[in-house]
Chains A and B, each alone.
Chain A
Amino acid sequence: MANVSKDAAHGDYDQPYYVPEQSKFPILASFGMGLFIFSMGHMLNDLKANESATLWSWMTFAGFAVLAVTLFNWFATQVRENHQGMAGPQLKRSYVLGMYWFIFSEVMFFAAFFGALFYVRMWVVGWLGGEGDRGVSNMLWPNFKASWPLLSNPNPELFEGPESSMAWPGFSSVAHYLPLWNTILLLSSSVTVHIAHTALKNNQRQKLTLWLGLTVLLGLTFLFLQVTEYREAYHELGLTLHSGIYGSTFFLLTGFHGFHVTLGAFMLSVMWFRALKGHFKPEDHFGFEAASWYWHFVDVVWVCLFLFVYIF
């Protein structure tokens, strides 16, 4: 080895790039994903046709289990290989780049839903109400009045509108406004995970597990409040997936965000258990970093949600 790397521009090439010879994980994960998704398709179609979906539900679960077990072992192998010193500095930079670009693709996923929200609010609702260049579409439902949040839909028989929305209730009832508390929770959790990160870099292990654990708790509290909010929406406000475009955008944007918080909290709790087991070194803790970047990303998405879905 040594005779080759002399010419190399920098020390990255001292260790050969680790290329695992063979792996069963990819094909197993593909099979699990295929089974999971194919069965879920049948399950959804059966439910829609009011038929029994028991068999396909179990198959969906089985596919998910294969996928989950495979991924768990895949990540475990990855961690083990790193502990065995197989991952050189160059490979670690590939991981970092991979995570950056993955988060970029997640940003674009949310951009699709935000784009839909902006398009609907800026143009569609107005047009349906008879404004502007496409105002003629008002002929379809002449009684429809444009407004946002949209409480009364163009065709209330097909889509019954909600009784009230999630908009800012005014300063008097701020204490009961869950989204504000959720904003505070998530923003503080970004701080706590940063403190945990700093502790890890300074090799303060107790501080690491304490603040990381606190981050996970804040995330779980956020999720609990969101579930509470959804229950209120469904049972008290009449705001559901069926209540027209306001409910559609509200639940898909906040729902996918909540799903990402769940994923992020899961990732961070895995990191917490790994920290307890003595994983991570001050200079080598990519797994922790990736999870914390993801957490910050989820936080930023929430700020956008709070501003554009709830407040404005």
Chain B
Amino acid sequence: MATGHGHDDHHHGPAKGITRWLYTTNHKDIGTMYLVFSLAMFLLGGTFALVIRAELFQPGLQFVTPNFFNQMTTMHGLVMVFGAVMPAFVGLANWMIPMMIGAPDMALPRMNNWSFWILPFAFLMLSSTLFMDSGAPNFGWTFYAPLSTTYAPSSVTFFIFAVHMMGVSSIMGSINIIATIQNLRAPGMTYMKMPLFVWTWLITAYLLLAVMPVLAGVVTMMLFDIHFGTSFFSAAGGGDPVLFQHVFWFFGHPEVYIMILPAFGVVSEIVSTFSRKRLFGYDSMVYATSSIAFLSFIVWAHHMFTTGMPLAGELFFMYATMLIAVPTGVKVFNWIATMFKGSISFETPMLFAIAFVVLFTMGGFTGLMLAISPADFQYQDTYFVVAHFHYVLVPGAVFSIMAATYYWLPKWTGNMYDENLGRLHFWLSFIGINVLFFPQHFLGLAGMPRRIPDYALQFADFNMLSSIGAFIFGFSQLLFVFIVIKAARGGKKATAEVWDGSHGLEWTVPSPAPYHTFSTPPVIK
């Protein structure tokens, strides 16, 4: 149904050589570039994390100075959030959304390539700060003023501009994704027939458009405070450092949903395929995703309970935050109900997806604990917070990206990956991640603060355990790289359907997917 011959141009294959990648307008090429870039940043940010964990293996200062330690925590956070997780999801969106809705490409193909190519320049600039005299930014990835303004190293200027560039890239990417979904759906592909991955990305793109400009705004205020003498974040001039936190978290809280909503979409696709059942409660999934997006705008100050907000503010943000558990619970319930009585098989994508459901839910529960304002005074700025957000980000967002890679890799490369190695990768990651982050809950509850290179002796055992987990998890990602490269170079040929229970337009085109798909739209009944 999808193979009607289109315009002559569409029979062209990819160009040869490096210019294919530099000049491309093809959503699959651009998706690949995003994914490869994200993997490179994942390994870079992971290296920073291993420096941190090596230093924390034992109490006392072993390898790095405290200032360099701070640079590592800062760069680790920035690189992972803006370099690894977000571009990975944009890469998946580029590859899959046009194929899932029967579109010939993204809506604005040249701008699509611009969105990507800004990123390498932005991260080159950010990474170059590591080699400057002042050292890299050292104020944490949340860059609170006045640490990031009055007391910042001079490299903060490059950090600010890098964030501006990432913002431009994200905004153009989101405009493209929204326009594609609104305008390029094949005839008959109504909104409520769209795969859930497309739905979650539509809402994510909306969130990005709403908050990336706010991030640009807050770093612009920093820039003016630093270079042009304004006093936004200086109480001496009538401003307020807490103002920084309000504006930052108005971006920051939707940002965490930007990093998890596409993961919800991925997991919904995978759980349904490997349970060989339709997704349970599709409509409620859509409404739950929209509710989470709406709520994400009115909960930001739960990151700031200890800043001395008025009591009414504490209460409002506490209850609003707890409300998010309702739509999130709907989602978890739907995934479990989808698996219920399904004929489940446990290929690697499904293993990662099930681990996602379990471990993400755990991260959600610790989130509820943190939402309780009076209790948060104890947890604030401890390793409990670190454990919480790593549980939602690593076995949450990162596991979903790996699940998606294994799930769609046969469609991208035309070859099956090595299933045994995939499962080995899963189990090493699963064990590594829990050994790495689970003890951090106890450390935090016992009072170990985050972002310090040294700690009191009573924290030693759990820290050593955590560092062992970190190295297991870190090095098992090399196995992931090996599996992906191996599948890209050859292996058992994949069929068009790839999986038994696969459903949706992307599985109607051959594997590997031709360079141009759906040049003329398929008709969906």
Enumerate chain A interface residues (CB-CB to B < 8 A). Answer: 1, 3-5, 7-10, 13, 16-17, 19-27, 29-31, 33-34, 37-38, 40-41, 44-45, 47-49, 74, 90-91, 93-95, 97-98, 101-102, 104-106, 108-109, 111-113, 115-116, 119-120, 124-125, 127-128, 132-134, 137, 140-141, 150, 153-155, 158-159, 240-249, 251-252
Say yes or no: is B109 at the interface (Cβ < 8 Å to chain A). yes
Contact of A29 among B23, B26, B114, B214 (CB under 8 A): B114
Q: List the 6 shortest-distance A-B pairs measured between CB atoms, nearest first.
A: A112-B217, A34-B121, A245-B238, A159-B237, A155-B236, A248-B230
Chain A proximity mask over B209-228: 1 for CB below 8 Å, otherwise 0: 11111101110110010111
Q: Would A241 and B209 count as touching, CB distance under 8 A?
A: no
Q: Would A38 and B125 count as touching, CB distance under 8 A?
A: yes
Chain A residues positioned under 8 Å from B309 (CB to CB): 133
Q: Would A246 and B238 count as touching, CB distance under 8 A?
A: yes
Q: Would A19 and B25 count as touching, CB distance under 8 A?
A: yes
Chain B residues positioned under 8 Å from A247 (CB to CB): 230
Say yes or no: is B337 at the interface (Cβ < 8 Å to chain A). no
Q: Would B239 and A248 count as touching, CB distance under 8 A?
A: yes
Chain A residues positioned under 8 Å from B238 (CB to CB): 120, 124-125, 128, 150, 153-154, 159, 244-246
Q: Tell me the bound Cα distance from A307 to B406 in angstroms.
A: 55
Residue of B nearest to A5 (CB): B520
Chain A proximity mask over B309-332: 1 for CB below 8 Å, otherwise 0: 111000000000000000000000
Residue of A nearest to B27 (CB): A19
Q: Would A22 and B19 count as touching, CB distance under 8 A?
A: yes
Q: Would A16 and B10 count as touching, CB distance under 8 A?
A: yes
12 residue pairs of the A-B complex, CB under 8 angstroms, read: A1-B6, A8-B523, A26-B116, A26-B117, A27-B23, A33-B165, A34-B165, A44-B227, A91-B107, A102-B175, A104-B210, A124-B239
12 new A-B contacts, CB < 8 A, other than A111-B217, A124-B235, A248-B239, are: A5-B520, A7-B523, A9-B188, A19-B25, A33-B168, A41-B160, A109-B217, A112-B217, A153-B231, A155-B237, A245-B237, A245-B239
Contact of A19 among B109, B161, B232, B310 (CB under 8 A): B109
Chain B residues positioned under 8 Å from A112 (CB to CB): 213-214, 216-218, 247, 250
Contact of A4 among B4, B120, B311 (CB under 8 A): B4
Q: Would B178 and A97 count as touching, CB distance under 8 A?
A: yes
Q: Would A30 and B243 count as touching, CB distance under 8 A?
A: no
Chain A residues positioned under 8 Å from B178 (CB to CB): 97, 101
Q: Tell me the bound Cα distance from A48 to B154 in angstroms.
A: 9
Q: Would A108 and B210 count as touching, CB distance under 8 A?
A: yes
Main secondary structure of the interface of B (DSSP, over half): helix
Q: Would A33 and B230 count as touching, CB distance under 8 A?
A: no
Q: Would B520 and A252 count as touching, CB distance under 8 A?
A: no
Chain A residues positioned under 8 Å from B124 (CB to CB): 34
Enumerate chain B interface residues (CB-CB to A < 8 A). Answer: 4, 6-7, 9-10, 12, 15, 19, 22-26, 103-105, 107-111, 113-114, 116-118, 120-122, 124-125, 154, 157-158, 160-161, 164-165, 168, 171, 174-176, 178-180, 182-184, 187-188, 209-214, 216-218, 220-221, 224, 226-232, 234-240, 242-243, 246-247, 250, 308-311, 516, 519-521, 523
Main secondary structure of the interface of A (DSSP, over half): helix
Chain A residues positioned under 8 Å from B26 (CB to CB): 19
Best-surrounded residue of A4, A90, A120 (most CB of chain B within 10 A): A4
Residue of B nearest to A244 (CB): B237
Q: Would B209 and A98 count as touching, CB distance under 8 A?
A: no
Chain A residues positioned under 8 Å from B158 (CB to CB): 38, 41
Q: Would B240 and A120 count as touching, CB distance under 8 A?
A: yes
A12 CB to closest chain B CB, in angstroms? 9
Q: Would B239 and A26 count as touching, CB distance under 8 A?
A: no
Q: A21-B9, A27-B117 are in contact. Are A140 and B235 (CB under 8 A)?
A: yes
Q: Tell me the bound Cα distance from A9 to B190 in angstroms.
A: 12
Q: Would B104 and A16 count as touching, CB distance under 8 A?
A: yes
Residue of A nearest to B309 (CB): A133
